[in-house]
Amino acid sequence: MQSEGQAVKRTPVVFIHGAWFHMSSWEGWAERFTAYGFAVCVPGWPGEAATAAEVRRDPGPLRDVGLAALTAHYEAIVRSFDDPPVLVGHSAGGLVAQHLLGGGLGRAAVALAPLPANGVWPDGAGPRPWSPPSAASTRYPGSEPLPRAQFRHVVANTVGEEEAAKLFERYAVPGPHRLLEELGLHRTAAGVADTVVDTADPERGPLLLVSGQEDRMVPDAVTRAVYKLYGDSPAVTDLKQFADRGHSLVFDSDWRAVADHVLAWLAANGVEATAARG
């Protein structure tokens, strides 16, 4: 039992969002994790404006962001904490979270619908969700939007039309062309492994991989293939598959079920929200 006057130390959690989404896509998670006692940090990408609407009006500051720069940006944030934080990443953010955890920079990590580690995109995983437009068709050079219809098809395919439209308006932003190519998200590029994940590190913290079995952007088969890469590591690696969920599983109307599973998994692995200072 905590004695009177004893300081409480809150466990930090860093949320990392993916391409085509704004950092506000974590707003529900930030509120829930804060309520549980965690010290929440939701930093944007380098140059990211405060709202999705602002980014859509001018995505220019994000146009030169590549995978190496994005990873370095979050590494600097993570290193600024006195204690290693919990890392929670979605899509491209899940890839970055795995990289940081493998480098010993996180206490634990959760990768939700993560893009494949080490360039592994298994055969039969389906087509990439984006085709690069001609140079004349883009409104902002260096940035590519995910059109509303495509957002509905590959991100919000498990929710109704009305909810999908609201999610698009609230969270969708153009993605940096450079990053999309490096991640291998379009139909003609193989991608590059600028961010390599150490899947064999026996000393890393626990890792939870999460997939939506109806995900069309990062299919369940991709997450299962990533999970298999960790087969030789004695460190804790778990896989949770959510039936009837798509790529929007972190911000659609059913996000709480996913967040609560993550909170329970952290607790089961000894990651408490608060601890008394000695």
pLDDT at 223: 93
How many domains does the chain divide into?
1
Q: Quick check: is 3 in a domain?
A: no
Nearest one of 68, 66, 247 to 143, comparing CA atoms: 66
pLDDT at 203: 92
Would you say residue 153 has pLDDT above 50? yes
Question: Residue 135: which pLDDT band, with cuts at 50, 70 and 90?
Answer: very low
Range of the domain at 144: 8-276
Task: Give the global pTM.
Answer: 0.91
| Least confident range of 41-55, 111-125, 203-217 | 111-125
Instruction: Average the pLDDT over 55-77 and give the result.
Output: 93
Q: Quick check: is 1 in a domain?
A: no
* Gap between the Cα atoms of 141 and 39, Å rounded: 37
| Least confident range of 31-45, 93-107, 183-197, 209-223 | 183-197
Summarize pLDDT for 92-115 with one digit per residue, the tens. Answer: 999 999 999 999 999 999 999 998
Could you give the C-alpha distances from 96 to 48, 114, 118, 214, in angstroms and in order?
17, 9, 11, 23
Instruction: Average the pLDDT over 274-278 and give the result.
Output: 67
* Percent of residues, the chain, with pLDDT higher than 70: 84
Domain CATH for 208: 3.40.50.1820
pLDDT at 186: 56
pLDDT at 2: 47
Question: Residue 116: which pLDDT band, with cuts at 50, 70 and 90?
Answer: confident
Q: Quick check: is 75 in a domain?
A: yes
Q: Quick check: is 61 in a domain?
A: yes
Q: Which residues of 193-208 are buried (b: 16+ CB within 10 A; e: fewer)?
A: ebbebbbebeebbbbb
What are the helix (H) ranges across the chain?
27-35, 52-57, 67-79, 92-102, 148-154, 161-171, 177-182, 220-229, 255-268
| Least confident range of 30-34, 36-40, 193-197 | 193-197
Cβ atoms 222, 111 nearer than 8 A: no
pLDDT at 136: 41
Instruction: Average the pLDDT over 132-153 and give the result.
Output: 73
Instruction: Average the pLDDT over 228-256 and give the result.
Output: 96
* Gap between the Cα atoms of 105 and 86, Å rounded: 9
